[in-house]
Amino acid sequence: MTATEPRTDEATKVTGTRLLRKEDPALLTGEGRYTDDLQIPGALHMSVVRSPFAHARITSIDTADALASPGVVAVYTGADLADLWADQMPMAWQVTEDMHNPPHFPVTQDTARYVGDAVAVVLAESSVAARDAVDLVDVDYDPLPAVVDLEAALTDEVVIHESAGTNKAYTWDLEIDEAAVAKAFDEAAHTVTGHFVQQRLLPMPMEPRAVACVPEPFGGGLTLYSATQIPHILKVMTAVTLGMSEADIRVVAPSVGGGFGSKLEVYAEEMLCTALAHKLRRPVRWLEERSENAQATIHGRGQIQEIDLAADADGKVTGVRVRLLADMGAYLQLITPGIPLLGSFLYCGVYDIPAFSFTCTGVFTTMTPTDAYRGAGRPEATYAIERGMDLLAREVGVDPAEIRRRNYITHDQFPYTAVTGLEYDSGNHESAAQIALDMAGYDDLRAEQAKRREEGGTRHLGIGMSSYFEMCGLAPSRVLASLNYSAGGWESATVRMMPTGKVQVVSGATPHGQGHETSWSMIVADKLGVSPDDVEVLHSDTNTSPHGMDTYGSRSLPVGGVAVALACDQVIDKAKQIAAHQMEASADDLELSGGVFTVRGSPDKEMPMAAVAFEAFTAHDLPDGVEPNLTAQVTYDPPNFSWPFGTHVCAVEVDEETGAVEVRDYVAVDDCGTQINPMIVEGQVHGGIVQGLAQALFEEAVYDADGNLQAGSLAEYLVPAAPDVPPMRLGHSVTPSPTNSLGVKGVGEAGTIGAASTVINAVVDALSHKGVTEMRMPASPLHVWEALQAARGGD
Ligand code: PCD
């Protein structure tokens, strides 16, 4: 289809179709350009000397042997580099005024606080020379006790940061109405309490981190290439940390092989490559090893949750109380302290709950810092309330599906103002749940379960469900301000129709696997009546896209994609004026369909958008006061979050003798409003479910008491492989968001948010007749066996 070919809207609509992703041919044929693929003549390679101790004072560092090693150009300790930093490592979320944000520098200056903490760096002419010399740096450590247990950390017997004087980073309360909560619990017919551990997870993107910083010739400043989700934020933060002008730093995120939150970060290695390239006026690059990725890239989750539910005699929840301990790790990274806060709003789940209280204490430990990992606070919250609902069902004596039905916010209650003060835009939980239960054959599964229990045996069928809200589209800037987050939540888009009718989009979102080039092209195609192939999407380079808030929090479509649509609307408005002038008609009489303007009442008159673009370009005959060129720039600050939702149901088989869990069937019904590309949506949901299932069944960043990461490689850290992935059957409903013109809600984290609780509810359900009420994640054979032993009264 060419840009000028007229098409009627519904019949040829591109959005809503399963268009193959534009970005895939290059990625699948090895043409993707990842940071480490860049050919950079004369680059120095950096390698980092990392502490083997979780906690140790550094008494001396001897760099002589390393410096003498072939190819080595420089070795720097923390003290050598101290003058390069205008500020400590960036942290953007001062959740309370008295929160401790202890000193944190790219290379530690006196004490190592986790295994992997940077102690020195080596620069050499080759990566091999740099890596070899790392082993020659002779560091003397005076070991101190490790602190890996959150409760123990809070005793302050061993204080990790002297300047803070305590391991408590902060306590944050969501203060609503304590008296109402107390009353709910006083008057409750039923109460239940859940204690849950959100184990630490390693995000494990396929591409580890990679950084290269190039000083441009002729005083052109520095170009920082990084496998990052946030080039725009990184640019500002680099300028601040290095005390440089923002004008001297350009950040480019080339192809990025997945981030899953772990690249929503400003990392030490980015600051180091930039500062050293600046200092030495030579390019400096670094590629993370897989084992470094386990130690020095942030971890996800790491929370201990306690949730109380109060309910009336029918099981209608009247109050929820949450206490949280959140493991910060050794330092605060970019938004470490804010992750539990993001989750705080979701502890009431999808239910109509009148009273709620939440308190969270952030705790320093001698482990790798934590931060955003797919869902960032929201999978944890959903887990707690959804496990809690199952506990309540059992206490009240009704089916888990029924207890949820009695508590859902019903579709006629939307827009619904939650007890937290946030407004949920739209939803239909009853319907999504019913579709999921029907698809899963819930009643038949329950009947099969009853029959098998009667027959006895050691292989048990379990059925689990959970319903969730995603809370995405981060975020209305004003809400972020109220949470003390130090950036806005807008997104920017520029749309230009070029002289030939092709379209250029500049987006502030930074895709790293999500397929924005395809989605944005589809939005533009329908708006302007062009083929998606005629749309070029520029992104991830602060020179071509100077304004942006980047990609995380399933925000890109509901904020950035909506900005693209709004910019198209402005281009159309302008084109309309020019077309009206050309056709000697009133702009009010013009209609745009399939990329062609027609005049109401004058069927012989029409003008394609492409022709208007050419007129706008030549500017030979424009209406008075209209500037040349069809271009519009929009910065969109959403009025609300968007609230995707859904229900997942799964069936598992648990073998009592081996402790093995097999997921027999997995049904997910997700509602992300209008779907731009259902194929991309399904891919997002599939990937999300697998990450949630991985937490439920396989993954845990296990530490020993000395603070050593025991699962630091892919041999011990069980990322699910293809055969571990169960059959997934997806359904969906479409409840458009009323707050944006596309009706879209995000979907990038939905699968993860719903999955872990669904699987664990099923595993507990499978063993419930054996007295099992709790299951520690991951539900590995060992943990299944331990739960059965505990239920039998053994130890
Ligand atoms: N969509 C559609 N429709 C709808 C929705 C959506 O179509 N309704 C689509 C879009 O367009 C795109 C996608 O889908 O393409 C996605 O989107 P969203 O939801 O908006 O999201 P974003 O923002 O874009 O993204 C983000 C996310 C996140 S957050 C995460 S984690 C993850 C996810 O994304 N990561 C990742 N996914 C993914 N994928 C891939 N491949 N890779 C990666 O890395 Mo965070 O906060 O960071 O934690």
- Cβ distance 743 to 737 under 8 Å? yes
| Class of the CATH-defined domain 490-636 | alpha beta
Distance between Cα 548 and ligand 1 center (Å): 16
Rounded Cα–Cα distance for residues 547 and 492 (Å): 6
Atom of ligand 1 nearest to the CA of 515: 15
Atom from ligand 1 closest to the CA of residue 747? 19
Within 449-573, strands assigned E span 459-469, 491-497, 503-507, 535-538
Instruction: Give the residue, by CA position, lying nearest to ligand 1 atom 13.
Output: 514
Which of 144, 142, 143, 137 is closest to 119 using CA atoms?
A: 137
Amino acid at the residue 666: Y
Output the pLDDT for position 3: 34
Phi, psi of 560 (to 5 degrees): -70, -40
- Write the ipTM: 0.99
Which residue's CA is minimally distant from atom 47 of ligand 1?
Answer: 261
Ligand 1 center to residue 757 CA distance, Å? 21
- As given in the structure block, the two tokens for residue 348 are 């009431």
Count of alpha carbons within 13 angstroms of residue 624, beta-carbon side: 0
Q: Whose CA is nearest to atom 35 of ligand 1?
A: 260
Which residue puts its alpha carbon closest to atom 14 of ligand 1? 681
pLDDT of residue 219: 82
pLDDT < 70: residue spans in the chain? 1-9, 794-795
CA of 485 to the centre of ligand 1 (A): 22
HSE of 3 in the Cβ direction (CA atoms, 13 Å)? Answer: 21
Distance 196 CA to ligand 1 centre (A): 28
Helix, strand, coil percentages (3-state) for the chain, rounded to 5, are: 35, 25, 40
358 CA to centre of ligand 1 in angstroms: 28
Ligand 1 atom nearest to 518, measured from its CA: 15
pLDDT of residue 9: 62
Spell out the domain ranges in the chain.
408-417+426-471+641-795, 490-636
User: How far apart are the C-alpha atoms of 90 and 274, rounded to whole Å?
Assistant: 15
Nearest atom within ligand 1 for CA of residue 264: 47
> Ligand 1 centroid vs 57 CA: distance in angstroms?
42
CB of residue 521 inside a 6 A radius of ligand 1: no
The pLDDT value recorded for residue 175 is: 81
Q: Is 263 in the pocket of ligand 1 (CB under 6 A)?
A: no
Task: Check if the beta carbon of residue 436 is closer than 8 Å to that of residue 649.
Answer: yes
Are the C-beta atoms of residues 595 and 3 closer than 8 Å to each other?
A: yes
Q: Ligand 1: which of 336, 554, 690 to mutate, judged by most atoms within 8 Å of the beta carbon?
A: 554
Ligand 1 centroid, distance to 229 Cα (angstroms) = 11
Q: Which amino acid is at 460?
A: H
Q: How many CA atoms lie within 13 A of 99 on its CB side?
A: 25
Widest distance between CA atoms in the chain: 89
Query: Which atom of ligand 1 lies at the shortest distance from residue 513's CA?
Result: 41
CB 635 within 8 A of CB 548: no
Strand partners, 593: 596
CA-644 nearest atom, ligand 1: 8
Nearest CA to ligand 1 atom 25: 554
Residues whose CB is less than 8 angstroms from the CB of residue 157 and which lie 6 or more positions away in sequence, other chains included: none
pLDDT for the residue 794: 66
> How close is the Cα of 682 to the center of ligand 1, in Å?
11
How far from 454 is each of 191, 449, 460, 769, CA to CA, in Å? 30, 9, 11, 11
Residue 771, both tokens: 């007295």
How many C-beta neighbours within 10 Å does residue 453 have? 13
End-to-end CA distance of the chain: 70
Q: What's the CA-to-centroid distance between 127 and ligand 1, angstroms?
A: 34
Query: Which amino acid would we find at residue 438?
Result: D
Give the C-alpha separation, 532 to 530, whole Å. Answer: 6
Query: Residue 784: CB partners within 8 Å, gap ≥ 6?
Result: 654, 659, 660, 661, 763, 767, 775
Cα separation, 693 vs 659, whole angstroms: 17
Ligand 1 mean position to 514 CA, how many Å? 5
For residues 232 and 252, give the distance between their C-alpha atoms in angstroms, rounded to a whole number: 9
Neighbouring C-beta atoms of residue 440, cutoff 10 Å? 24
Candidates 557, 672, 676, 691: which one to mutate for ligand 1, based on the most atoms within 8 Å of Cβ? Answer: 557
What spacing in Å lies between the alpha carbon of 418 and ligand 1's midpoint?
25
Question: Cα angle vertex 479, ends 681, 98, to 5°?
Answer: 120
In ligand 1, the atom with minimum distance to the C-alpha of 229 is: 47
In ligand 1, the atom with minimum distance to the C-alpha of 561 is 11
- 198 close to 272: Cβ distance less than 8 angstroms: no
Residue 646 Cα, ligand 1 centroid: separation in angstroms? 16
Regarding the beta carbon of 640 and ligand 1, being less than 6 Å apart is answered no
Q: Give me ligand 1 centre to Cα 530, in Å.
A: 25
| Interatomic CA distance for residues 570 and 632, integer angstroms | 6
Ligand 1 atom 38: the closest Cα is on which residue? Answer: 514
pLDDT score at 6: 38
Is 681 a pocket residue for ligand 1 (Cβ < 6 Å)?
Answer: yes
Residues facing residue 211 across a β-bridge: 226, 286
* Ligand 1 near 14 CB (within 6 A): no
Cβ of 324 below 6 Å from ligand 1:
no
Task: Report CA(685)–ligand 1 centroid distance (Å).
Answer: 9
In which residue are the tokens 């201990």 written? Answer: 304
Fold classification of 408-417+426-471+641-795 is: Aldehyde Oxidoreductase; domain 4 (3.30.365)
- Confirm whether 408-417+426-471+641-795 and 490-636 share one CATH topology: yes
